[in-house]
Chains A and B, each alone.
Chain A
């Protein structure tokens, strides 16, 4: 039954990949197609408003700068709102202004598509904040990420003028992808009993005579974009385990597919851009192989339960149910956990802190790799980076200087990739190590020893991968954690984006190398194997020592 539940979701995803991937391709290929008729007029209106008449292609620098500038403006506006929201309208619950370091963390968190929440939605955020900061950034950060991924694809496949026009991509991502999809998913969720209201918290007298405050609000609209945009920040502190955010197994499946589909479809979109669909499927299958391995690890580990509890003679036939919702069970929880950390969404329908050690290792590892589907575009771009790396190392073995999709990989690209590939372990391991050197860090840990290490490691891995989920036991609303994770999120997002846009820019200017029988082919099963091998050897081995000291030591000593 469990396997069937998981299997059905995966099969539905596989069926969605091709149509979704083709749709995204049509949206961004800038060739006239049927999506123009539907959305063209709306876009023309926006272009007129922002004065974007000539939508000419941009160099990688202009593209990166445009994205950064847009993000900076949004950050500034949102920061102001959070700091003064106490006095602003749409605040029926009378929520106060947010503290400076927490505002910094929250704004960065949502702009970088991380959605790490050091505040609790019910008490710390006004409805205005939920709508024009949180929900707005859920759209804009996802659109920024998608735009970058598309620009990267255009660059390395040399389709179009330069890398394209950021503002055009940004508008299109909203108008043709996220807004219509969010509208549909919101309506479906409302139909499935997710609240959508501007009424304040309901206060009721329970049968037992106690007074209960039931928090509500515009939940469904946030819930849809939270997953579609792989954002993950919950309306409520309990995120998608809260019955108003995720009331039933059906909404659970809808949320899983909402966050997974676009990320999983992007390899196919890439195949369309590269005029080689097989190439897209090869990338997809490399991601899927890794995903299935991590999903199995979590599922098997959770299913076999916690040995310490099993020893007490408590019925373990359901598996380890600590921190899980009864309506989801182990299968739906394991799948949600694997998907939310693969697609770097960060919403949770169970508490990751209480996963068994190896069950918790899988989400941690997926965030450390950050290539298994990944958030809006990031996963694909990172996977392509590993593809270039794999080509560089193995491509030499066919006796030619390495080339990927007809692009020669030379010193300049390797330097830029070096920056991106160095940044990830640095911003996870260095702050984790620092957090153990100071009481500011160790005081937040709610567990001793190995699980404590996992808590800190998870927090920074989640920040660096722009995931946003947490090992919730961590007392993280302090200046130290707000600022450190804020910086990690910033670096995690923008360093690799800029470096990889530069790679795309550099490749797009190269003269393409024609293919011959002597060319190293990257659309074969063998290459899928090379890709997985490269990810594991270079990506995973980096984190092995800390993983051994964290989850693996916890597992062995249990």
Chain B
């Protein structure tokens, strides 16, 4: 994974974000964020009072008003900066992608002729020929030939991948380069709709829509803003009646401190940064909704082969039969595999090495390799000395031996059944009329998968493994890996059935897939992650594409989704909890002049009424940039039960949210009080 998309904060991003935070002051843009819009209006009102003190009769308080104005203005700018910064990181990624979208030419086939056209003129259905060193002009599917393609522009992975007509490795992405051979490609997208185009608009945030949870949270924040607006507006006439004069800037300060500006200012940055974290992980989410949904996943459907296991059956043990010695069995197994290029064959030699067993390579010298065939279900070698070595399915070898009038050892059947009952595959090894023993072939679980399934358990996510294997083999792997359920001998339609069954129970289901026959299931799943190496149909049906084509990444995507939601909840809680301290700062300060006894409520012992109000306002403003790193990185997430997670986050962000501003405001007041 050397090519992981880096998303560093560079100087230019910060500079651009600073510029954008001023551009975003445009009220039409601000209106989309009601909380900050109210702050902006307040800022404007105070500005008017600073500019025309005579008209508002505020001549004596211009200094204080100016301070309030500046702090409010900075508050709005901070919030804009947070959003701009998050957007900036996406834009920087988009720029690198755009570079790959340079104009190029294409060799279009028209009838039997090939004409050179501009790549932007290609339409869906056109056929082009791409040769070594040329750029593939658009998304498409290989219909003829085989080539290795450098996809580093899209995936960041520098090793080229093979693409060939037919099968699951036929899709190619525009902007990638053919490094060897030559292929014929049918174009599957019109200009502007290609994969890279979509990717650019996604990371740029151009097609970003608010997610359902974000909309609901926004409703809550707007409601809180309205409530505090009511509180502050009604306070004025009541205080007036009681002979407690309240200045408008003071009321605005109270309002701004009470409305949830912290979360209001950071909300969109959290969302953008969440998408960004997925992208950094080399997974492309087609919508924020999909990322959010991944946090809610109850059930995960995983293919056994390639995801949980390596998929190759590997030799794990040599079992002698009929009184043969272990060394003898191993020796013939190795000789029979010497020229066998299949993973099974190689694994036999690896096992020899691992068990430090020796064999004589001389024996096989000059021998003729016998390939595996579906009819014979055996492979092996015909040695120069006339002996025939065979290894293969037990019944096939048995028949072969019997045909040569050989004898069958008595313990063969029992030992081969024992292997099968453990979910393994037995291969028999024979030389002419004698069976020497068995090779135990076994599917192996990838290292680390067991631990990951343990984590999923702690998150309360059920895992279902799908495999084409027989139930016995499936059960063994399921037990070894620790998945909850498995579907053996599964067909593509089984996956949809399982997804529908789980969804009918109200569960959200995630799955990965790459083949065309996975497409309906990917579309049915709530979170479907297609492999970039997969077919176009799979990628279109999915709502995420993994550019590294690593199916086990789905687990990390879930963690990112959860982290996104947690960050939102944590900052909302923090923001609302902050109100307690702000009240204790501002309320006594507002009334102390008219009702001196209010000093009793000044529990923080703030220097003066004016410094108390300014300190609360300053705290309210600076907490936004202080929390930007948290909003961008997300709160720390470790898989654990919801009860512990809640207790932990509630202590940090709830209790912390009550205490932190008391300390913060007091500290700021110590400084501010030096002037006022």
* Chain A contacts to B: CB under 8 angstroms: 389, 392-402, 406, 409-411, 413-415, 417-418, 421-422, 425-426, 429-430, 432-434, 436-437, 442, 449-450, 452-453, 511-514, 516-521, 524, 526, 530, 533, 537-538, 541-546, 548-549, 552-553, 556-557
A397-B566, A397-B650, A549-B238 in contact; A418/B220 too (CB < 8 A)? yes
Instruction: Describe A's contact surface by its main secondary structure.
Output: helix
- A553 and B597 alpha carbons, distance in the complex (Å): 8
Give which listed residue, A394, A437, A537, contacts B650 with CB less than 8 A: A394
8 interchain residue pairs of minimum CB distance: A396-B569, A518-B460, A399-B562, A516-B460, A433-B234, A517-B460, A556-B597, A397-B569
Within 8 A of A (CB), among B209-232: 212-213, 215-217, 219-220, 222-224, 226-228, 230-232
Interface string of B549-576 (1 = CB under 8 A from A): 0000000000001110110111011001
Q: Is the CB of B577 within 8 A of A537?
A: yes
CB proximity of A431 to chain B, nearest CB, Å: 9
Chain A residues near B461 (CB, 8 Å)?
516, 518
Query: Is the pair A421, B650 in contact by a Cβ cutoff of 8 Å?
Result: no
Q: B650 to chain A: which residues have CB within 8 Å?
A: 394, 397, 526, 530
**A393 B230 Cβ-Cβ under 8 A:** no
B573 touches A399 (CB 8 A): no
Closest chain A CB from B273 CB (angstroms) = 16
- Select A542's contact among B231, B242, B591, B600, beta carbons within 8 Å: B231
Docked-complex contact B569 and A393, CB < 8 angstroms = yes
User: Of residues A396, A514, A553, which shows the largest number of chain B Cβ atoms within 10 Å of its Cβ?
Assistant: A396
B216 close to A411 (CB less than 8 A): yes
Specify the chain B residue showing the minimal Cβ separation from A533. B654
Q: Let me know if B598 is at the binding interface, CB within 8 A.
A: yes
A547 to chain B minimum Cβ distance, whole angstroms, is 10
B564 CB to nearest chain A CB (Å): 8
B56 within 8 A of partner (CB): no
A399 engages B566 (CB within 8 Å):
yes
Given A396-B568, A433-B237, A516-B460, A414 and B220 contact (CB-CB distance below 8 Å): yes
Given the contacts A392-B216, A397-B566, A414-B216, A548 and B587 also touching, CB distance less than 8 Å? yes
Q: Is the CB of A519 within 8 A of B227?
A: no
Residues B219 and A411 in contact, CB atoms below 8 Å apart: yes
Contact A394 B569 (CB under 8 A): yes
A436 to B240, CA, bound (A): 9
Chain A residue numbers with a CB within 8 Å of B228 are 542
- With the chains together, A453 CA to B601 CA distance in Å? 19
Stretch at the interface among B113-121, B292-300, B311-319: B292-300
Q: How far is the CB of A158 from chain B (nearest CB, A)?
A: 11
Q: Is the CB of A422 within 8 A of B226?
A: yes
Contacts of A537 on B, CB cut-off 8 Å? 576-577, 579-580
Of B243, B254, B653, the residue contacting A397 (CB under 8 A) is B653
Q: Would you call B649 an interface residue if the criterion is a C-beta within 8 Å of the partner chain's C-beta atoms?
A: yes
Shortest Cβ distance from B573 into chain A, in angstroms?
Answer: 6
Q: Are B212 and A411 in contact (CB under 8 A)?
A: yes
Q: Which residues of A contact B243 (CB under 8 A)?
A: 449
Residue of B nearest to A534 (CB): B576
**Are A512 and B646 neighbours in the complex by a CB distance under 8 Å?**
no
Contact A400 B649 (CB under 8 A): no
Contact B583 A393 (CB under 8 A): no
State whether the Cβ of B16 lies closer than 8 Å to any Cβ in chain A. no
Rounded to whole angstroms, the CA-CA distance of A545 and B595 in the bound complex is 14
Q: Are B598 and A556 in contact (CB under 8 A)?
A: yes
Docked CA distance A395–B572 (Å): 11
Given A396-B568, A436-B240, A524-B643, A410-B595 contact (CB < 8 Å): no
- Chain B's nearest CB lies how many Å from the CB of A410? 6
Q: Which residues of B contact A524 (CB under 8 A)?
A: 643
Q: List 25 A-B contacts (CB under 8 A).
A: A392-B216, A394-B650, A397-B569, A397-B650, A398-B566, A398-B646, A398-B649, A400-B562, A406-B506, A410-B216, A414-B217, A426-B230, A436-B240, A453-B241, A513-B507, A516-B461, A518-B461, A519-B460, A526-B650, A530-B650, A538-B576, A545-B231, A549-B235, A552-B601, A557-B595
Query: A441: shortest Cβ distance to chain B, in Å?
Result: 9
Cross-chain contact B595 with A432 (CB below 8 angstroms): no
Question: Are B580 and A553 neighbours in the complex by a CB distance under 8 Å?
Answer: no
Q: Which residues of A contact B232 (CB under 8 A)?
A: 545
A432/B234 contact (C-beta < 8 A), A514-B507, A538-B576 known: yes
Q: Which residue of B lies closest to A556 (CB)?
A: B597
Instruction: For B565, list chain A residues within 8 Å (CB).
Output: 396, 399-401
Complex: chain B residue closest to A421, CB-CB: B223
A393 pairs with B591, CB closer than 8 A: no
Name the B residues within 8 Å of A400 (CB-CB). Answer: 295-296, 562, 565, 642
Could you tell me the distance in whole angstroms from the C-beta of B63 to the nearest C-beta in chain A?
A: 26
B239 at the A/B interface (Cβ < 8 Å)?
Answer: yes
Q: Is B641 engaged at the interface, CB distance under 8 Å to the other chain? A: yes
Nearest B residue to A513, CB-CB: B506
Nearest-neighbour CB distance to chain A for B499, whole angstroms, equals: 15
Q: A450 contacts which chain B residues (CB < 8 A)?
A: 242
CB distance from A513 to the nearest CB of B (A): 5
A516 to chain B, nearest CB (A): 3
A521 and B642 contacting across the interface, CB-CB below 8 Å: yes
**B226 engages A517 (CB within 8 Å):** no
Q: How far is the CB of A31 from chain B (nearest CB, A)?
A: 24
Check B637 for interface membership: any CB of A closer than 8 A: yes
Contact flags B478-511 to A (C-beta < 8 A → 1, else 0): 0000000000000000000000000001110000
Which residues of B have CB within 8 Å of A516? Answer: 298, 460-462
Q: Which residues of A contact B643 (CB under 8 A)?
A: 521, 524, 526
